Structure 1
Amino acid sequence: MFWLKTRIVEGRNALENLKKEAKNHERVLILASNSMKKHGFLSKAEDYVREAGAEVFSITGLPAEPSVEVIEEFLPKVREFEPDLLVALGGGSVIDTTKALKVFYDAPGLDFEEIAFMDRFSRPKPVPKLKTKLIAIPSTSGAGSEVSAASVLKKGGIKYNIVTPEIAPEVAILDPRLPMTMPREVARNSGLDVLVHGIEAYTTRVANDFSDAMAIKAIKTVFAFIERSLEGDEKAREKMHYASTMAGIAFLNARLGLCHAMSHKAAWIGPHGLLNAIFLPYVIEFNAERSEYARKRYDEIARELNLKDWRELLQAIKELNERTGVPKLGELVDERTFMEKLEEMAEKAYHDGLIAFNPVEPTVEEIEKLYLEAYKGE
């Protein structure tokens, strides 16, 4: 099955489309990143909503990582305003936070532990029908949250997922002016996240021809444009912005794998996209050495990039990481702290729901070994 709930509006000045989308709504709540406020895009969005004849209320100052605590903090403000339209203006964290707020605003009796995927063996309760429309306007190019049916929230330093079609945004507005505000490091981390999304979506057990098309296009775009994007090239930033959404559509349908499971459980170490970039080469080698299916799929990606096989793909990814300044894992965390948490991380990664879609099911010991290899840079 291939599924996409979200209507996508793209192009320069696409933010203005908010005027049309806000019509026939009375109260519009905008959750925005500080960056969008700083660069004037929040005030533009507020003006468009007012021009549509609706009342607008904005919340800024959201933390970098969405969490259950953040939802509990902002939910009373949302309930007090009683919006009939939610707008997420910012990066993946802002969009994920808005999705979660939608769940608990529309269905106030729900409990997080009951509806979240704590691990792949959990059976969460289904989220009921939600009524409030959600528009996602991403300002970064990596998460793909503007089209996905998942919200990733932290609790106790570990990331968990709420997964339901009910939180997939009704509309995604892709305005390439917004990602021009990203600092180089954010553009790198999010851009490499797009690459991992594409590669993992292409190689899962449930990938299909339609998700493959989106995944391959995203992968090729990253290799072609990420380095120019990091230099601030406007066209390259635009291409990377659209690639992020394409990769999001790919993993919405084909899911993700071991690399994401590992980064989710190592979230305390550093940014998600950066961790994905660090772990990817180790995961590719692990999968390829143990699965004919994985080798075949990696070989297909390689040929799309005019490379010979999965080994050349692996080398190309390592070289891209090096050229873009991706650090070694050992540069992000001291050895003592890492070793203290190693066993726990491996155990929790093994229980992550995405392991079920990886072409190879690893053991806890194999995941622990992969973490160690990545730490030592072997």
Structure 2
Amino acid sequence: MFWLKTRIIEGEGSLKALSKEVRGYERVLILSSSSMKRHGFLSEAEDYVREAGAEVFSITGLPAEPSVETVEELLPKLREEFQPDLLVALGGGSVIDTAKALKVFYDAPELNFEEIAFIDRFSKPKPVPKLKTPLIAIPSTSGAGSEVSAASVLKKGDAKYNIVSPEIAPEVAILDPRLPRTMPREVARNSGLDVLVHGIEAYTTKAANPFSDAMAIKAIKTVYKWLPLSVKGDEEARAKVHYAATMAGIAFLNARLGLAHAMSHKAAWIGPHGLLNAIFIPYVMEFNAERSEYARKRYAEIARELGFKTTKDLIEVVRELNEMLGVPRLRDLVDEETFMAKLDEMAEKAYRDGLIAFNPVEPKPEEIRELYLKAFHGE
């Protein structure tokens, strides 16, 4: 099965489509990252909303990581002060994920986070009921794919949980390439590598289908060709990678993701998500290819699309891209003592991650532990 709930508006200056999209609504709440305020895109968006005749409220300066605590803090404002009939998320994946979670608890105040969150693949959360407040997502970074996905990743305490429901997939995504051109070099690199891993993992899961494959391959080829230029700030390259991020989002919305993501979710305390994915993916590909003919076949197909031949070639190409872009080793990000102290817990939690069910191979906790160690030592 293949589905996509989100209508996608793309192109240079497409932020102005907001004035048409908000027509007919009365009270619009924009959740924005600080960088979008700083670069003037928030005030531009506010102007479009006013132009359409709606009242606009804005919340900026959200924390870098979406959390249940942030959502609980903001909810009274939504319910008592703003009472919006439309939500707009303007920023990176974390802003969009926060807006999705706010939508759930704003529309369904009787819900309890623990009831609907996926704590691990062995938990059975309650389904999210029908929600009424529409959400428009306007991504400013090119990686998470949250503008089309049906998931919101939230931290509670030290752990990350997922809310997964078609109800939280945005109704509209606006992809204006002017926004990601403001990304610092490192953010462009890390988020672009996240797109590559989304494409590779979505193409090789047990749930992949011909339609998700088309999106995944296009995203992989685009990132492989354009990411080095995007990191240097090339304007055309930034636009290409921005669209590729959404294509990869559509791919994993349908085909899901695999072991590299499960590992990076549980190692989130070490560094940025996209960077961790880039570090883990070559080790995960080797692991899958050694144990699964299906994985070997799929990796070889990706290799041929990029002009190479074998699974081995693809793993080498991914390693070379990491090197070219200056991706550090895991041991450059965390000291050995701290890492070793958390290793067993990470491996156990990664084993319980919901995405393991979609990986071409089901790993044992001790095999995941071994992969973390290999990545740490750069073997």
Short-chain TM bin: over 0.9
SS at match of 1:159: strand
The answer to whether the 8 A contact 1:88-1:95 is kept is yes
Q: Deviations over 1:5-63 (max 9, x none)?
A: 00000000100000001100000000000000000000000000000000000000100
Give, as a single letter, the amino acid of the residue that structure 2 aligns with 1:12. E
How many Å apart are 1:156 and its aligned residue?
A: 2.1
SS at match of 2:356: helix
The answer for the alignment partner of 2:41 in structure 1 is 41
- Verify: 1:66 aligned to 2:66, yes or no: yes
How far, CA to CA, are the matches of 1:299 and 1:159 in structure 2? 33
Q: Deviations over 1:262-303 (max 9, x none)?
A: 000001111000000000000000000000000000000000
The answer to whether the 8 A contact 1:157-1:267 is kept is no
The answer for the alignment partner of 2:15 in structure 1 is 15
How far, CA to CA, are the matches of 1:78 and 1:289 in structure 2? 51
Give, as a single letter, the amino acid of the residue that structure 1 aligns with 2:205. T
How far, CA to CA, are the matches of 2:210 and 2:160 in structure 1? 30
The answer for the alignment partner of 2:131 in structure 1 is 130
Q: Hey, which bits of structure 1, 4+ residues long, moved more than 3 A? A: none
The answer for the alignment partner of 1:249 in structure 2 is 250
How many Å apart are 1:101 and its aligned residue?
A: 0.3
How far, CA to CA, are the matches of 2:114 and 2:377 in structure 1? 36
Q: Deviations over 1:313-361 (max 9, x none)?
A: 0000000000001000001111111000000000000000000000000
SS at match of 1:73: helix
The answer for the alignment partner of 1:365 in structure 2 is 366
The answer for the alignment partner of 1:354 in structure 2 is 355
How far, CA to CA, are the matches of 2:155 and 2:336 in structure 1? 24
How far, CA to CA, are the matches of 2:307 and 2:262 in structure 1? 29
How many Å apart are 1:75 and its aligned residue?
A: 1.1
How far, CA to CA, are the matches of 2:167 and 2:267 in structure 1? 28
The answer for the alignment partner of 1:53 in structure 2 is 53
Give, as a single letter, the amino acid of the residue that structure 2 aligns with 1:263. S
- TM-score (normalised: structure 2): 0.99
How far, CA to CA, are the matches of 1:270 and 1:78 in structure 2? 32
Within 5 Å, which residues of 2 pair with 1:161-200? Answer: 161-200=162-201
How far, CA to CA, are the matches of 1:23 and 1:271 in structure 2? 37
How many Å apart are 1:77 and its aligned residue?
A: 1.2
The answer to whether the 8 A contact 1:298-1:309 is kept is yes
The answer for the alignment partner of 2:285 in structure 1 is 284
How many Å apart are 1:74 and its aligned residue?
A: 1.1
Q: Deviations over 1:84-116 (max 9, x none)?
A: 000000000000000000000000011111101
How far, CA to CA, are the matches of 1:277 and 1:116 in structure 2? 27
Within 5 Å, which residues of 2 pair with 1:275-314? Answer: 275-314=276-315
How many Å apart are 1:155 and its aligned residue?
A: 1.5
Q: Deviations over 1:205-235 (max 9, x none)?
A: 0100000000000000000000000111100
The answer for the alignment partner of 1:266 in structure 2 is 267
Within 5 Å, which residues of 2 pair with 1:201-212? Answer: 201-212=202-213
Within 5 Å, which residues of 2 pair with 1:207-226? Answer: 207-226=208-227
Give, as a single letter, the amino acid of the residue that structure 2 aligns with 1:57. F
Give, as a single letter, the amino acid of the residue that structure 1 aligns with 2:299. Y
SS at match of 2:160: strand
The answer for the alignment partner of 1:152 in structure 2 is 153
Q: Deviations over 1:61-81 (max 9, x none)?
A: 100000111111111111121
SS at match of 2:123: coil
How far, CA to CA, are the matches of 2:190 and 2:73 in structure 1? 28
SS at match of 1:53: coil
The answer for the alignment partner of 1:111 in structure 2 is 112
Give, as a single letter, the amino acid of the residue that structure 2 aligns with 1:66. P
Give, as a single letter, the amino acid of the residue that structure 1 aligns with 2:179. L
SS at match of 2:56: strand
Give, as a single letter, the amino acid of the residue that structure 2 aligns with 1:243. A
Identity level (%): 80
SS at match of 1:180: helix
The answer to whether the 8 A contact 1:158-1:264 is kept is no
SS at match of 1:173: strand
SS at match of 2:138: strand
Give, as a single letter, the amino acid of the residue that structure 1 aligns with 2:378. G
How far, CA to CA, are the matches of 1:257 and 1:27 in structure 2? 40
Residue segments in structure 1 that go unaligned for 5+ positions in a row: none
Give, as a single letter, the amino acid of the residue that structure 1 aligns with 2:11. G
The answer to whether the 8 A contact 1:158-1:267 is kept is no
How far, CA to CA, are the matches of 1:342 and 1:78 in structure 2? 40
How many Å apart are 1:308 and its aligned residue?
A: 1.1
SS at match of 1:154: strand
Point out the more displaced range, 363-372 or 65-74: 65-74
The answer for the alignment partner of 1:318 in structure 2 is 319
How many Å apart are 1:312 and its aligned residue?
A: 0.5
- Verify: 1:6 aligned to 2:11, yes or no: no
